[in-house]
Amino acid sequence: MEMTTQQLYRYFRGEAAKDEAARIDAWLGESVENRRQFMEVRMEYETLVMNARPEKSAEGTKRRKGVRGLIWAVSNVAAAAVLFVLAAVFAEHKVTERLASQEITVEVPFGQRMRITLPDSTVVDLNSGTELRYPAVFTGKERLVKVDGEAMFHVTHNEEMPFIVNTFAADVKVLGTVFNVYADSQEDEFSTSLVDGKVMVTVADVPEYRYYLVPAQTLSVRNGEVSVENMLDLQVNYWTEGLINIRGMSFDDLMRRFEKAYGVDIVIQRDKMPDIDCTSGEVRVSEGIDHALKVLQHIADFKYHRDNSTGIIYIR
pLDDT at 152 over 70: yes
Mean pLDDT of 2-24: 81
> What pLDDT sits at residue 43?
64
Cα–Cα dist 300/281, whole Å: 13
What per-residue confidence (pLDDT) applies to 279?
A: 62
CA distance 275 to 303: 13
Model confidence at 61: pLDDT above 50 = no
- Using only the alpha carbons of the chain, give its radius of gyration: 28
Lowest mean pLDDT among 123-132, 217-226, 240-249: 240-249
Pick from 45-49, 54-58, 153-157 the range whose average pLDDT is largest: 153-157
Q: What is the rounded CA–CA span in Å between residue 157 and residue 140? A: 16
pLDDT at residue number 224: 81
For a pLDDT cut of 90, what percent of the chain falls above it?
35
Average of per-residue pLDDT across 299-310: 91
- In CATH terms, the fold of domain 103-235 is Jelly Rolls (2.60.120)
Cα dihedral: 25, 174, 148, 128 (round 10): 90
Report phi then psi at 140, rounded to 5: 80, -150
Residue type at 55 in one-letter notation: E
pLDDT in tens, 180-231: 999 999 888 999 999 999 999 999 888 888 899 999 899 999 888 899 998 8
Sorted by where each begins, the domain ranges of the chain are 5-100, 103-235, 243-315
What is the rounded distance in angstroms from the CA atom of residue 158 to the CA atom of residue 297? 48
Identify which has the larger pLDDT, 12 or 298: 298
